[in-house]
């Protein structure tokens, strides 16, 4: 019996990391865990029974420490039984010194740890319901550790998979044998659809058998219980519900990945699933890290875009991930990252300029960028262009037109603020992530109207290759009977698409332009329909629907 205060203490300390804040947060029981309030437990509730009850609950939460917990529980049951058998439990003096000491020891450990450890359950209370909700689902992996650089690549269902494979290809293609032993690439499939996760894992295993075999490549996904109910999020900063959900999920995904990666190497680099790495990136990164080793940076930037190519010391990841989790519902991840810097070094009594200077010390940028967004400059994989020409910047990136009132919808996901509605209102261009087959943009008119013609221009001077390819322009006539005559008549020059739409044009070299003849009038809706998966993003810089 003498041996187990220590064992118990150690195991419960582990447990405490996961649950103490929760235990402490149980309302209406002040003082019970402080150990400094004598006689606080009511009559008929000796310490051991309390502890036992708590542990029963805690066991549900403990996840990976379940096994250890069971044995602790067993021992505790044994302890609490002993007095039970011989005398009524209310006599506290019966509790033998051994067990009392054990409890004291436990309390000491618990209170010690409760002040030093973060607690994810505070920020994500839904995780309490499932003990496994924090356990990563490692679909492919050999548990590689101790590398210099860990890459984290989150990928989601919507985005095109072949981009992911291209991304991985570009990361791997220039590596020497020694370098590939010193890396770990974690593909985080941020989906709970296990079939989809398996399909990504299978594609990666098929495409990179050697890298999977050597442990260089891992495929990991979250537990199905990891994500909260996104429908209850508050819409803030003018973001739509969809976007709030998207950015919240991104916070959770990046945090999960960081926490998973934290003990696997020295540095962690965040990427996305549609980037191209510059040849020789590994040596460039290592050289820059060595050069800045004595600086107090929080991250190094190997790309200027969003969260791509940001390098952290893995020892900083717990802090960063906890900050993200703390505010995951509140702001997008790149703002949060900036706020960490602010919190760390800005003096609220000084001005922005001072703040910027201070922050600049914590992030150092490497030039030129080592990672390029595939969509950004339309570079096809392997081909990176930096379009920094000032003249280009002065040319308009979109052209505004007066368009008839329409309800807008699309299956495309736009990048940043380059949305369809801003395009249609003449405020911006639409920039969408890689279109896949059957993606569409739909302009439906509240009442069928007369439309004489249309013009859709994709790409712009800066992003000339992000065009719509294999995409048709289609009309939904207000009068279905006329349509049948036009499509099925003897001299039919139109083809029918699906859902009653008629094809009236197609993008050629990025441009779709045409008239709509009288027979199709009035028009209920216009649609752009993508017929095959694209290799690049799509940018729509001009929409003109002439009435
Ligand atoms: C607890 O007691 C039971 C019998 O009452 C015994 O079989 C078991 O080994 C004990 N467990 C521990 C961990 O001491
Ligand atoms: C301990 O006492 C409770 C009632 O106080 C009783 O239900 C339980 O069976 C007892 N346990 C043992 C092991 O005797
Ligand atoms: C508790 O036990 C002690 C002896 O061990 C006894 O003197 C005392 O009366 C008991 N108290 C109660 C409330 O049973
Ligand atoms: C999420 O919350 C909404 C509103 O409270 C509720 O209608 C919905 O059933 C919840 N979904 C899940 C999966 O719990
Ligand atoms: C366009 O898409 C269709 C349907 O997916 C396909 O059959 C056709 O080959 C594609 N055309 C081009 C030029 O890619
Ligand atoms: C409890 O155990 C201690 C040894 O640690 C012993 O000295 C003491 O007499 C025991 N007390 C009772 C009430 O059994």
88 lines ligand 2 (CB under 6 A): no
Task: Out of 7-21, 236-250, 505-519, give the one with best mean pLDDT.
Answer: 505-519
144 occurs within a structural domain: yes
Using the atom order of ligand 3, give the atom closest to the CA of residue 88.
14
The more confident residue out of 108 and 448 is 448
- Count of domains forming the chain: 3
Task: Out of 77-86, 178-187, 361-370, 500-509, give the one with best mean pLDDT.
Answer: 178-187
92: pLDDT confidence band, cut at 50, 70 and 90? very low
pLDDT, residue 239, reads 80
Q: What is the pLDDT of residues 49-86, one digit of tens each?
A: 666 666 666 555 554 444 454 455 555 555 545 443 33
81 lines ligand 2 (CB under 6 A): yes
Q: What is the pLDDT of residues 147-185, one digit of tens each?
A: 999 999 999 875 444 578 878 988 988 788 899 999 999
The more confident residue out of 495 and 310 is 310
Task: Out of 69-78, 82-91, 381-390, give the one with best mean pLDDT.
Answer: 69-78
pLDDT, residue 34, reads 34
**Are 420 and 335 members of one domain?**
no
The more confident residue out of 165 and 7 is 165
Q: What is the pLDDT of residues 241-288, one digit of tens each?
A: 888 888 899 999 999 999 999 999 999 999 988 788 888 899 999 999
424 occurs within a structural domain: yes
Q: What is the pLDDT of residues 259-271, one digit of tens each?
A: 999 999 999 999 9
pLDDT, residue 304, reads 78
**Are 187 and 81 members of one domain?**
no
pLDDT above 90 for 528: yes
240: pLDDT confidence band, cut at 50, 70 and 90? confident
Using the atom order of ligand 2, give the atom closest to the CA of residue 81.
13
The more confident residue out of 520 and 285 is 285
Domain final residue pick, 48, 82, 117: 117
100: pLDDT confidence band, cut at 50, 70 and 90? low
**Are 142 and 247 members of one domain?**
yes
101: pLDDT confidence band, cut at 50, 70 and 90? low
**Are 149 and 75 members of one domain?**
no
**Are 328 and 270 members of one domain?**
yes
Using the atom order of ligand 6, give the atom closest to the CA of residue 96.
1
**Are 417 and 539 members of one domain?**
yes
pLDDT, residue 104, reads 61
78 lines ligand 1 (CB under 6 A): yes
Q: For residue 366, count other CB atoms closer than 10 A to its CB.
A: 21
pLDDT, residue 95, reads 45
pLDDT, residue 227, reads 92
Domain final residue pick, 72, 89, 117: 117
452 occurs within a structural domain: yes
**Are 443 and 336 members of one domain?**
no
207: domain CATH number? 3.90.550.10
Contact residues of ligand 4, CB 6 A cut-off: 229, 231-232
Q: Which of 265, 268, 267, 242 has its CA nearest to residue 255? A: 268
**Are 100 and 147 members of one domain?**
no
DSSP 508: B
pLDDT above 80 for 378: no
**Are 362 and 464 members of one domain?**
no
How far, rounded to the nearest angstrom, does the alpha carbon of residue 518 sit from its chain's CA centroid?
49
Q: Which residue has the tokens 């009594």?
A: 349
Mean pLDDT (whole number) for 406-416: 91
130: pLDDT confidence band, cut at 50, 70 and 90? confident
126 occurs within a structural domain: no
Which of 87, 93, 100 has most ligand 3 atoms within 8 Å of CB, for mutation?
93
pLDDT, residue 134, reads 82
Over 382-410, what HEC string results? CCCCCCCCHHHHHCCCCECCCCCCCEEEE
89: pLDDT confidence band, cut at 50, 70 and 90? very low
* Distance from Cα 245 to the centre of ligand 4, integer Å: 14
Its sign, for the CA torsion 363, 259, 249, 189, is positive
Mean pLDDT (whole number) for 381-389: 35
Q: Which domain holds residue 526?
A: 394-546
122 occurs within a structural domain: no
pLDDT, residue 53, reads 63
470: domain CATH number? 2.60.120.260
* Distance from Cα 536 to the centre of ligand 3, integer Å: 81
Domain final residue pick, 329, 356, 371: 371
Using the atom order of ligand 2, give the atom closest to the CA of residue 85.
14
Helices H / strands E in the chain, number of each: 17, 20
What span, in angstroms and rounded, lies between the C-alpha atoms of 370 and 383?
A: 12
pLDDT, residue 268, reads 98
Task: Among the bound ligands, name the one nearest to the CA of residue 99.
Answer: 6
386 occurs within a structural domain: no
Collapsed DSSP state (helix, strand, coil) of residue 228: coil
pLDDT above 80 for 374: no
388 occurs within a structural domain: no
**Are 485 and 534 members of one domain?**
yes
pLDDT above 50 for 211: yes
Mean pLDDT (whole number) for 212-238: 90
Average pLDDT value over all residues in the chain: 78
pLDDT above 60 for 125: yes
pTM of the model: 0.50
389 occurs within a structural domain: no
First and final CA of the chain: distance in angstroms?
Answer: 89
Q: Which of 158, 237, 214 has its CA nearest to residue 413? A: 158
**Are 34 and 94 members of one domain?**
yes
The more confident residue out of 319 and 100 is 319
**Are 406 and 530 members of one domain?**
yes
């Amino acid at each position: 019996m003498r041996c187990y205060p220590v064992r118990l203490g150690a195991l419960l300390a582990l447990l405490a990391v996961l649950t103490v804040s929760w235990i402490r947060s149980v309302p209406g029981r002040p003082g019970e865990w402080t150990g400094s309030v004598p006689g606080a437990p009511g009559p008929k509730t000796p310490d051991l029974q309390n502890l036992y009850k708590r542990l029963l609950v805690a066991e549900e939460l403990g996840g990976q420490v379940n096994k250890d917990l069971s044995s602790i529980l067993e021992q505790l049951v044994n302890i609490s039984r002993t007095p039970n058998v011989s005398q009524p439990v209310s006599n506290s003096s019966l509790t033998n010194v051994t067990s009392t000491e054990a409890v004291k020891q436990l309390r000491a450990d618990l209170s010690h740890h409760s002040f030093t450890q973060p607690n994810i359950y505070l920020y994500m209370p839904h995780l309490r319901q499932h003990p496994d909700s924090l356990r990563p689902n490692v679909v492919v992996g050999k548990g590689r550790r101790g590398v210099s650089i860990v890459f984290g690549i989150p990928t989601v269902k919507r985005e095109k998979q072949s981009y992911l494979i291209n991304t991985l290809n570009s990361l791997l293609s220039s590596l020497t044998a020694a370098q590939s032993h010193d890396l770990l690439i974690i593909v985080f499939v941020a989906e709970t659809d296990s079939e989809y996760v398996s399909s990504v894992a299978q594609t990666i295993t098929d495409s990179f058998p050697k890298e999977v075999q050597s442990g260089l490549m891992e495929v990991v996904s979250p537990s199905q219980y990891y994500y909260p109910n996104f429908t209850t999020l508050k819409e803030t900063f003018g973001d739509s519900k969809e976007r709030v959900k998207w950015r919240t999920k991104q916070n959770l995904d990046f945090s999960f990945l960081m926490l998973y990666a934290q003990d696997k190497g020295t540095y962690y680099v965040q990427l996305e699933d549609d980037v191209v790495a510059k040849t020789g990136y590994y040596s460039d990164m290592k050289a820059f890290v060595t050069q800045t080793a004595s600086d107090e940076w929080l991250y190094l930037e190997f790309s200027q875009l969003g969260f791509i190519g940001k390098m952290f010391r893995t020892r900083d990841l717990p802090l960063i991930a906890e900050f993200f989790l703390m505010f995951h519902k509140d702001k997008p991840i790149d703002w949060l990252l900036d706020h960490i810097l602010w919190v760390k070094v800005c003096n609220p009594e000084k001005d922005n300029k001072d703040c910027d200077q201070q922050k600049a010390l914590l992030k150092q940028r490497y030039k030129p960028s080592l990672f390029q967004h595939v969509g950004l400059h339309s570079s096809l994989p392997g081909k990176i262009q930096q379009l920094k020409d000032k003249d280009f910047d002065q040319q308009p990136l979109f052209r505004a037109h007066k368009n008839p009132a329409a309800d807008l919808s699309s299956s495309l996901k736009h990048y940043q603020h380059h949305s369809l509605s801003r395009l249609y209102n003449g405020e911006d261009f639409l920039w969408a992530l890689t279109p896949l087959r059957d993606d569409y943009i739909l302009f439906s008119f509240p009442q069928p109207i007369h439309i004489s013609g249309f013009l859709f221009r994709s790409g712009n001077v800066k992003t000339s290759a992000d065009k719509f390819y294999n995409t048709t322009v289609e009309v939904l006539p207000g009068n279905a009977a006329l349509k049948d005559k036009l499509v099925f008549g003897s001299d039919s020059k139109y083809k029918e698409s699906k859902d009653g739409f008629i094809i009236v044009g197609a993008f050629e070299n990025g441009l779709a332009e045409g008239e709509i003849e009288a027979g199709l009038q009035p028009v209920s809706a216009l649609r752009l329909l993508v017929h095959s998966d694209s290799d690049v993003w799509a940018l729509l810089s001009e929409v003109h629907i002439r009435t």
